[in-house]
């Protein structure tokens, strides 16, 4: 999934977007009170399972898959960061594992354990609408 973002300046509203990163506390500071945090996420357990399966056929490819756990954030970690920053909505993006069997259930395991949070998985073509001076976030 490729994240394509278009910004129109809107008074009083804020969106914070992460790149590939481990859970990083300064991002939480930057996102403090934001309307939306769009955060990349990866299930490291799913990636390590894919690496093990790949290892017999392609050891180099398996090593590359295993390396991705060093620079991605678990969905539950992104949720914790969003909660601590007090963001209104979390959108998990960069969903490289979306085609894997059992994706949604396995990928999102633990996201809701830390408490209340409005969150969703990014989808191709998803748009977020934030009106000036308001608090609503339209999701299409």
**Taking the CB of residue 118, how many other CB atoms lie within 10 A of it?**
13
Give me the domains of the chain, ranges plus CATH numbers.
15-139 (3.60.15.10)
pLDDT at site 2:
42
Nearest to 108 by CA among 41, 57, 16, 59: 41
What proportion of the chain, given as a percentage, has pLDDT over 70?
Answer: 93
pTM (two decimals): 0.87
Report the pLDDT averaged over residues 10-30.
Answer: 88
d(CA 38, CA 21): 12
For 39-96, what is each residue's pLDDT tens digit? Answer: 999 998 888 999 999 999 999 999 999 999 999 999 999 999 999 999 999 999 988 7
């Amino acid at each position: 999934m490729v994240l394509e973002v278009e910004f129109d300046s809107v008074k009083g509203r804020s969106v914070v977007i992460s790149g590939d990163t481990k859970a990083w506390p300064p991002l939480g500071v930057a996102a403090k009170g934001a309307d939306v945090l769009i955060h990349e996420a990866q299930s490291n357990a799913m990636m390590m399972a894919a690496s093990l399966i790949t290892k017999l056929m392609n050891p180099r490819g398996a090593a590359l898959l295993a390396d991705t756990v060093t620079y991605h954030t678990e969905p539950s970690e992104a949720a914790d960061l969003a909660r601590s920053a007090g963001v209104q909505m979390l959108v998990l993006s960069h969903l490289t594992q979306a085609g894997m069997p059992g994706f949604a259930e396995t990928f999102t395991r633990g996201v809701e354990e830390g408490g209340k949070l409005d969150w969703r998985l990014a989808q191709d073509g998803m748009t977020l609408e934030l009106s000036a001076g308001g608090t609503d976030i339209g999701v299409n």
